[in-house]
Amino acid sequence: MLRTLPIFLSLFSSHRGLRDALANQLHEILIPRRRILSVSSLIKVGCQEPVMVLRVDRDKGYIDFSKRRVSEEDIQACEERYTKSKLVRSIMRHVAETLDIDLVELYIHVGWPLYRKYGHAFEAFKIIVTDPDSVLDSLTRQVKEVGPDGQEVTKVVSAVTPEVKDALVKNIRRRMTPQPLKIRADIEMKCFQFDGVLHIKEAMRKAEAAGNDDCPVKIKLVAPPLYVLTTQTLDEEQGISVLNNAIKACTEEIERYKGKLTLKEAPRAVSERRWHAIR
Burial of 78 (0-12, 13-18, 19+ CB in 10 A): buried
Do 76-176 and 181-277 share a fold? no
Alpha helices in 4-99 (DSSP H): 16-30, 72-99
Confidence at residue 60, expressed as pLDDT on a 0 to 100 scale: 82
| Segments in 131-195 forming alpha helices (H) | 132-136, 162-176
Contacts of 276 (CB under 8 A, 6+ apart): none
- Give residue 28's pLDDT: 45
Point out which residues pair with 223 in neighbouring strands: 226
181-277 maps to CATH 3.30.70.1130: yes
The alpha carbon dihedral of 99, 100, 103, 107 has a sign of negative
| Closest to 158 measured CA to CA, from 96, 120, 110, 121 | 110
pTM: 0.59
The DSSP result for 226-256, as a single string, is EEEEEEEES-HHHHHHHHHHHHHHHHHHHHT
> Do 175 and 225 meet the contact criterion of CB atoms below 8 Å apart?
no
- What are the contacts of 217-220 at 24+ separation with CB within 8 A? 217/242, 217/243, 217/246, 219/246, 219/250, 220/278
Q: How far apart, in whole angstroms, are the C-alpha atoms of residue 185 and residue 229? A: 5
Q: At what angle do helices 72-99 and 121-130 cross, to 10 degrees?
A: 60
For 92, 106, 162, the CA distances from 110, given in Å and listed in that order, are: 9, 6, 13
- 212 phi/psi in degrees, rounded to 5: -140, -175
Judged by DSSP in three states, 48 sits in strand
SS3 205: helix
Distance in angstroms between the alpha carbons of the first and the last residue of the chain: 55
pLDDT of residue 48: 77
Cis ω before 267 (30° cut-off from 0) = no
Contact call for residues 173 and 194 (beta carbons, < 8 A): no
Q: What is the pLDDT of residue 38?
A: 63
| Secondary-structure class of domain 76-176 per CATH | mainly alpha
Residue numbers in the chain where pLDDT is lower than 50 = 1-31, 33
Give the start-to-end residue ranges of the domains of the chain. Answer: 3-70, 76-176, 181-277
Angle at CA of residue 130, ends 124 and 134, nearest 5°:
55
**What integer pLDDT is reported at residue 276 of this predicted model?**
52
pLDDT at res. 12: 36
Q: What confidence score (pLDDT) does residue 254 get?
A: 96
How many other CB atoms are there within 10 angstroms of residue 223's CB atom? 6
In sequence order, the β-bridge partners of residue 126 are none
